[in-house]
Structure 1
Amino acid sequence: MAYQIDKDGSVRLGEGRVPVPGGVSAEARTFLATPPWAEAPDPDAERLPMWALRGFVDEQMKMIGDAALQRYPVDVEEIEIAGVRCHLVRPREIPSENQGLTLMNLHGGGFVMGSGSLVEAIPIAHQAKIPVIAVDYRLAPEHPYPAAVDDAVAVYRTMLDYHRPDQIGIYGSSAGGFLTGQTIMRLEKEGMPLPACCGVFTAGGDLGDLGDTANIFTLMGFWGDLILPVDHEISEIRAYLGGADPRDPAVSPIHGDLSRFPPALLMSGTRDAVLSATAGFHRALRRAGAEAELYVFEAMPHAHWYTFHLPEAQEAIGIMGDFFLRWLRGARN
């Protein structure tokens, strides 16, 4: 079923109309009435695998990152940790109570794009007043699973040389959110100390089944084209898995023991194709006895916190920063 977006941000599905809810900000209404990305340079983009558009999307992400630097002034330094390219994103001021605390960010991009993206690291470093290590992990299809997890674990292992595990948090959006869960499962399997907390944003714990919203949105073509199921021939998830079993708990943590999973913040929106995956993982964590919080923003699409001027984005970034600070400063005590 084809959809179209009206000038007021409402969505038309055939003869039906889905209005923007009344509680959404004026800025969000304008945003919802605008296509989420600039027009792709290739007219056949919809039939190309996501990684074929890597250069175009990475350019868009760099523009968003530059805008983030204007709004959230921080210092950025390219570094190498354990042979992995990273960026150290440091706030201009670090309060005494935040000394020694740090975060690792695993960027989004469908596992196949996003190299060097700092759109998640910059706002959080500024908001929480904590340094963030943004990991430029290897991408599929050139480097399928477990390459990205290997890189994240290598960086984390080196961070442990300088920080206690209870001083470290790991987070990511979209693919980075899935990678966050996979990294934690690998750390657990290898007997390494787990971080104090984590953020799984617009992501879940099951790469083999993204749930109801992904199927519905894909059928409608309504922002669902951001996610292609694993059985699709040009699926970015399929390219990432590279033959790995999506039911393996190391790949899809929801199939494993989540009882020792660190305190987790999960976040999505009602116009996000990955909402079901996020909500399902939250329930799985709670059933296992893990500490987990879920925030769902009305009418917000995939990773709306990338659109920094929205009040809803600022609220989301504030929630993220507060959550990390609460646990890194010793909420377990």
Structure 2
Amino acid sequence: MSIPRLMLTAALLGLSPAAFAQGQPPREVPARSLPVPGDVSPQVQRLIAAPLRTGWNTPPTTPEGWRQLAETGAAATRQALPGLKDRLKVDVEPGEMGGVKVFRVTPKEIRPENRNRLLIHIHGGCYVLNPGEAGLPEAIFMAGFGGYRVISVDYRMPPEAYFPAALDDVLAVWKAALRDNDPKRMAVFGSSAGGALTLEMVLRAKAEGLPLPAAIAPGTPMSDVTGVGDSFQTNALVDNVLVAVDGFCHAATQFYAKGHDLKDPLLSPIHGDVTGFPPTILTTGTRDLLLSNTVRMHRKLRNAGVEAALQVFEGQSHAHYYRDDTAPESREAFSEIAGFFDKHLAK
């Protein structure tokens, strides 16, 4: 910032230029109640009004504890899958690609323009949650709302495998997909850790000289796991999914990283070279703890000359856009991503 601009900015804030330049103590915000927004659907209002995630500040401390946490959550998700598949009219078949377990998620009616297209899905869960079929909801949303064939990667997770096992598996599936599909007709998407892995996969593919997907959609990506980002403070205890920067998701990431430097671009892709990335659409919400992770990634892509779109949903916490398939906001989010893919994928 130039000296005149610094002096003007300081004056507007009622500060001396010297004090402004040196930084100020953090702003004290009084305790307050946050009403549920009235301009969102009833379904999203219920999501917003839900209590903070159980156990957000008491993460497991042993490998067996993490395994049990993942299985408990997975059991609940598996119970909901039959109804979800029925409502969105998709079929799911387990399989293998490149030596990695996958699920083929196919809409009963593939849109004509998508018959030669394929999407690769990478599930979220802070690198430790949603094993097996529990990682499928987002893939089912995309197949059902977008009319695309989807391959969902069931990547290895701790305590069976640590960094970079998840990324290795995603890249193995991408290489296998390239053998039978034109990269110009493929896209990659995922949310949270899946969003980070989407970005990390492109970094790895670029480094190895592999063809890149025609487009990507990293939703609310864990693009900086070092805790940097304004919304880690502004949305602390507001996001009812991740809740706080020092909550279970940070502990899970450390468990996955197993001592590896969290600034590594293959854990925090915000630090990577995104020059030449494919067109990208990112999704987040105003109450998302990773709002800053998402908007910072968006700006980094834009500054590198990459076509990048950003959709932000009112009132939503972390990845609320795929929590309820009956919410109009969910259809809107995935229709927006599907349209972005349709624009960039060859037919």
| Common fold: TM-score over 0.5 | yes
The one-letter amino acid paired with 2:147 is: K
Equivalent residue number for residue 320 of structure 1: 337
What SS class does the counterpart of residue 33 from structure 2 fall into? Answer: strand
Equivalent residue number for residue 142 of structure 1: 160
Q: Distance in 1 between matches of 2:167 and 2:31?
A: 45
What SS class does the counterpart of residue 161 from structure 1 fall into? Answer: helix
Residue among 216, 227, 230 paired with 1:212:
230
Q: 5 Å matches for 1:1-333? A: 16-35=32-51, 46-49=57-60, 51=66, 52-116=68-132, 117-218=135-236, 220=237, 222-223=239-240, 225=242, 228-229=245-246, 235-304=251-320, 305-329=322-346
Q: Which has the higher helix share?
A: 2
260-269 or 48-57: bigger deviation? 48-57
Q: Distance in 1 between matches of 2:332 and 2:344?
A: 19
1:75 CA displacement: 1.4
Give yes or no for contact 1:204–1:281 (8 Å, CA) kept in 2.
no
Q: Give runs of ≥4 in structure 1 deviating > 4 Å.
A: 224-230
Q: Distance in 2 between matches of 1:215 and 1:279?
A: 15
Q: Distance in 2 between matches of 1:204 and 1:234?
A: 10
Equivalent residue number for residue 19 of structure 2: none
Q: Distance in 1 between matches of 2:228 and 2:299?
A: 14
Identity of aligned residues (%): 37
Q: Distance in 2 between matches of 1:114 and 1:47?
A: 19
1:126 CA displacement: 2.0
Q: Distance in 2 between matches of 1:242 and 1:270?
A: 31
Equivalent residue number for residue 6 of structure 2: none
Deviations 1:194-236 (A, max 9, x none): 0001111011422223512223444x37526456549x99711
Q: Distance in 1 between matches of 2:307 and 2:334?
A: 20
Q: Which has the higher strand share?
A: 1
Deviations 1:105-161 (A, max 9, x none): 001111001112210111211222221000000012431111001000001101001
- Flag the 1:212–1:189 CA change in 2: closer, same or farther, 3 A: same
Deviations 1:77-131 (A, max 9, x none): 1001111110001111224422220000001111001112210111211222221
Q: Distance in 2 between matches of 1:268 and 1:88?
A: 26
Q: Distance in 2 between matches of 1:317 and 1:234?
A: 27
What SS class does the counterpart of residue 271 from structure 1 fall into? Answer: coil
Give yes or no for contact 2:145–2:331 (8 Å, CA) kept in 1.
no
Unaligned residue ranges in structure 2 (runs of 5+): 1-28
What SS class does the counterpart of residue 47 from structure 1 fall into? Answer: coil
TM-score of the superposed pair, with normalisation by structure 2: 0.82
- Flag the 1:96–1:313 CA change in 2: closer, same or farther, 3 A: closer
- Flag the 1:95–1:316 CA change in 2: closer, same or farther, 3 A: closer
1:46 CA displacement: 4.3
- Flag the 1:229–1:183 CA change in 2: closer, same or farther, 3 A: farther
Q: Distance in 1 between matches of 2:314 and 2:238?
A: 20
The one-letter amino acid paired with 1:308 is: D
What SS class does the counterpart of residue 108 from structure 1 fall into? Answer: coil
Give yes or no for contact 1:210–1:274 (8 Å, CA) kept in 2.
no
Equivalent residue number for residue 4 of structure 1: none
25-34 or 87-96: bigger deviation? 25-34
Equivalent residue number for residue 8 of structure 1: none
Deviations 1:274-295 (A, max 9, x none): 1111111111111111111111
Q: Distance in 2 between matches of 1:16 and 1:257?
A: 40
The one-letter amino acid paired with 1:188 is: K
1:70 CA displacement: 2.4
The one-letter amino acid paired with 2:58 is: R
Deviations 1:234-279 (A, max 9, x none): 7111112122222222332222221111111100111111111111
Give yes or no for contact 2:241–2:318 (8 Å, CA) kept in 1.
no
277-286 or 92-101: bigger deviation? 92-101
The one-letter amino acid paired with 1:47 is: T
Q: Distance in 2 between matches of 1:227 and 1:106?
A: 24
Q: Give the root-mean-square deviation of aligned CA atoms.
A: 2.4
Give yes or no for contact 1:204–1:280 (8 Å, CA) kept in 2.
no
Give yes or no for contact 1:228–1:237 (8 Å, CA) kept in 2.
no
Give yes or no for contact 1:180–1:200 (8 Å, CA) kept in 2.
yes
